[in-house]
Amino acid sequence: MLLREGNQVAFYNLYERYCKRLYGFVLKYIKQEADAEEIVQEVFIKVWEARAKINTYSSFESFLFTIAYNATISLFRKRVTEKKYLEYLMSSQQVEMAPDAADEIHFHELNEKLHALLNELTTRQKEVFQLSREEGLSHEEIARKLNISVATVKKHLSNTLAFLKSNIDNSLIVNALFIHLFL
């Protein structure tokens, strides 16, 4: 098999042969196009990384769809975990409809610290972050709107979140961040 030898043309041919079928398979379960596209990309990255270990005597198609199925299940698990964590944060916050003045002042102070950190970002990072977190756009929508690649959008978001995480060491500030982003 040429793929095992690192032949990029063989890899491209496999991609072209299975890409749409994998996408349809994943989309049937995920129901979100962006997530399905990411999983298909992840599958082919894993195939390329494991190309030397691929058994030419077993079904490549079965191997490919097993990777896609496992990646889909992993995404479901991740989403359930994220949802439970956010529910936990929200329940532990017990945000009231009419907070007292001290709570409101404290929240505004924390919010100002968050905005100060966001203002330290590059213009593009800030723009991508706001489109993602405040306007709720998908990676693909942001890429189209800013005329950049999806990979660049992901890199900006990853760098921004790493920056915020490294500069927010107080648990109250983290809670304020989640309140700001998810309420």
Residue pLDDT, tens place only, 43-55: 999 888 888 887 7
Tell whether the torsion through CA atoms of 66, 154, 141 and 15 is positive or negative. negative
Query: Which has the higher per-residue pLDDT, 134 or 33?
Result: 33
Percent of the chain past pLDDT 70, that is, above it, reads 75
What average pLDDT does range 95-119 have in this prediction? 63
Confidence at residue 111, expressed as pLDDT on a 0 to 100 scale: 66
Tell whether the torsion through CA atoms of 121, 124, 127 and 130 is positive or negative. negative
3-class DSSP state of 120: coil
Which segment of 29-33, 114-118, 152-156 scores lowest on mean pLDDT?
114-118
Provide the mean pLDDT of the chain.
78
Residue type, 15: Y
Contact 146, 128 (CB under 8 A): yes
Confidence at residue 7, expressed as pLDDT on a 0 to 100 scale: 83
Confidence at residue 151, expressed as pLDDT on a 0 to 100 scale: 93
Secondary structure string (H, E, C) spanning 49-114 = HCHHHCCCCCCHHHHHHHHHHHHHHHHHHHHHHHHHHHHHHHHHHCCCCCCCHHHHHHHHHHHHHH
Q: What residues contact 97, with CB distance under 8 A and at least 6 apart? A: none
Q: pLDDT tens digit string along 67-100?
A: 898 888 888 888 778 777 677 767 666 544 445 5
Domains recognised in the chain with CATH numbers: 2-79 (1.10.1740.10), 98-182 (1.10.10.10)
φ/ψ bin of 136: left (φ > 0), alpha (ψ from -120 to 50), beta (otherwise): left
Confidence at residue 72, expressed as pLDDT on a 0 to 100 scale: 87
